[in-house]
Amino acid sequence: MDEYLSGLTTEEINEKTQTIDECTTEQMLRMMNEQDALVPAAVGAEIPQIMKAVDILHGVLRNGGRMFYVGAGSSGRLGVLDASECPPTFGIDPLMVQGHIAGGDGALRTAVEGFEDNAEEGVALIERCGVTDKDAVIGITASGSAQFVIACLKKAKEIGAATIGVVNNKNSKLVAVTDVCIAPVVGPEVIMGSTRLKAGTAQKLVLNMLTTGTMVKLGKTYNNLMVDMKASNIKLYDRSVRIIRIATGVDEATAIAHLEKASMNCKLAIMMIKTGMEVKEAEEALTQCEGSLKRAIRTYVQVV
């Protein structure tokens, strides 16, 4: 037996759920819900580390770098999910935030758990992605023992990239290969070792914080409005119009007119309404303020 694995919190038996197979449906679900309720506090305890990671990621992306999620199994799927939501939500290039899973895209639908032990593929992935010292690599593994993830982080660190770990055990193998290690410990799972449960929930919350916090710092929101989103379907077009109206107080017709004039760029439309600028002038003002709508509006108001 692997001594490292046998000592992991995520591999322990949960004393409070040993009778789950004897429960009524309601009892079983309440048992799971009670365990899930422990997750937010575990994540909250890691905010100092999450804060360090967000500041690192902000610096990386602000200076033209990229961030890469790497993981295996459930952890890898969560990384791909978080990365794939960034372009429509924040209007970024899909290459800026990438998610990669051991075993490739086929592993998103079909479990190929053996790939998590393939260290060579971890190294090869970092090389294929062309990771440089301007980038950041975030390794996600509940146990902290996935060789694919460890190899990715080691190789990234050798290159000089920033490295961040997301794990659900303290003093894991990720500590030695990361600049920041985020480790929300949620305790033993409802079903022993099934880390898609509490551990996966904790990872999802952490990844939400990493990308959302970084994007807010990059000026991808105005107040709490996603002004950089892409109006790529009917729902998002309608949301863009509502965002413009909320941000500026104009009527629907005015919001639509400015959105169309701004080529469906919600942020640009708000800038034009708030300042009276035309398209080109508003674009230049936003560029000068690194895309921060609030800063651009305040700068223009101060100038005039």
Active site residues: 85, 116
C-alpha to C-alpha distances, 256 to 19, 199, 232, 291, nearest whole angstrom: 58, 44, 15, 22
If we measure between CA atoms, which residue out of 116, 124, 184 comes closest to residue 145?
Answer: 116
- Three-state DSSP state, 164: strand
- Three-state DSSP state, 275: helix
Q: Sign of the CA dihedral 89, 112, 205, 68?
A: negative
CA distance 103 to 88: 26
If we measure between CA atoms, which residue out of 25, 33, 78, 49 comes closest to residue 198?
Answer: 33
Is-contact 149 71, C-beta < 8 A?
yes
- Which amino acid, 212? T
Which residue is it, tokens 């506090």?
41
CA distance 16 to 141: 25
If we measure between CA atoms, which residue out of 34, 29, 119 comes closest to residue 70?
Answer: 119
Is-contact 269 258, C-beta < 8 A?
yes
CA distance 234 to 255: 15
